Chain A
Amino acid sequence: MSLEADLGIFAISVAAGLIGALAGVGGGILVIPALTIGFGVDFRLAVGASIVSVIATSSGAAAAYVRDRMTDMRVGMFLELATTTGAVCGALLAAAVAPAALYVLLGVVLLGSAGMQATRMGEETPPTGSPSRLASTLRLESSYPDRKLGREVAYSARRIPLGFVLMWIAGLVSGLLGIGSGVLKVLAMDGAMRLPMKVSSATSNFMIGVTAAASAGIYLGRGDVDPQIAAPAALGVLAGALLGARLLHRITNRTVRFVFLPVLVAVGLETIGRGLGFGI
């Protein structure tokens, strides 16, 4: 790697970390194509660097989000039951499933969800109602301090079984394909469980590190994590994530959705592209 390439990877990783921290995704969507197309990095090593980047985004941003009560830790831990179980199932099934069709299917689902997201573009906070019995039992009701709105915003999780199943599928997909887990997590929490967008994003951020760590050992063991690429990527992503975590307070839920929607469309297109055999 030349110094220019190192600096280039660092710069693109700062952007990936920033967007990832705001949208609740790992930023692999930016890191992988930038490395393969921009710097001619082997796809395998790009994915290895991306896994490292996801953990860096997650841990860096979540440190701030947990402290600032943006992350709902009970929602996160409860749903991690679903994602980790799904991820194990996915990893076990990976050898038996042809990934090409799955990539295309997932991409179509993501683009479909982008359409649903677009209809919610103007919504600042989800409509409130009386919490369900399940939400009370599991204590999946809380509030977060919204500095932009200047008040405490209360919420309670709705459609918890649906959210749990979607999270299991998100885990399954990340175990099978190693991608798409952040966007699916945000979609499950925002779309199905109707948590506020910032809470969905911050809690997804909190969770993706655990999902990625579950499969990181496999990538390390296979020799897919090259320090020459992973070092500038991890440092850049961390810097971007810390910056993004400071920014989330200053923007509205609408703006977070505005950042998330293009990420969702891009991940959808990239996923379909990968299913059709383009090395991106």
Chain B
Amino acid sequence: MTPERFRSVVSGVLLIGVAVSAALVGTGFVAALAIGWQNSLVGAAPATAVTTDFSNLPTRLASLEPAAIVQLGLLVLLATPVTRVAASVVAFALEGDPLYAAITAAVLLILLTSILVLR
């Protein structure tokens, strides 16, 4: 993998993550401005009053609740840097740079540990 290709992979991961996230957050935000944060686009069932809870996200997404669409977009945003690190491990390895593949893999390991364990 050439350095140019390497950069375009890492840059591409960030760009796609940001674009998908912005599309979801933007859609949910505009929908919320139109119908209100507490309503759903599909189904009559009123949404939960608490929009800061991420645990019941799938069911609230199924009823296209604006807040839930925003939340999905925020999750994509949070996953973007982690995905970037994971992609860098592969990219450094393909570039023939075992030292930095190992360093990046260690960073990924610490990062995943801190996300999964420290809460």
Contacts and interface: CB of A to CB of B under 8 A. Distances in A.
Contact of A225 (B28, B52, B103, B110): B52
A238 interface: yes
B71 A210 contact: no
A8 B81 CA distance: 27
Contacts of A84: 107, 110-111, 114
Q: Which range holds the interface residue count of chain B?
A: 35 or more
B10 A73 contact: yes
Nearest to B72: A227
A198 B50 CA distance: 42
B51 A78 contact: no
Interface in B75-108: 77-82, 84-85, 88, 92, 99-100, 103-104, 106-107
Contact of B28 (A60, A67, A227): A227
Contacts of B74: 52, 220, 225, 227, 230-231, 234
A9 to B, nearest CB: 11
Contact of A88 (B12, B106, B118): B118
Interface residues of A, number: 54
A69 B70 CA distance: 32
A217 interface: yes
Contacts of B12: 63
Contacts of B85: 77, 80, 210
Contacts of B67: 227-228
Nearest to A85: B110
21 contacts: A55-B78, A56-B21, A58-B81, A60-B18, A63-B11, A66-B7, A67-B11, A88-B118, A213-B115, A214-B110, A214-B111, A214-B115, A217-B116, A221-B54, A226-B51, A227-B74, A228-B32, A231-B28, A232-B29, A234-B74, A235-B22
Interface of A: 1, 3, 6, 45, 48, 52, 55-56, 58-60, 62-64, 66-67, 69, 73-74, 77-78, 80-81, 84-85, 87-88, 91-92, 138-139, 209-210, 212-218, 220-221, 223-228, 230-232, 234-235, 238
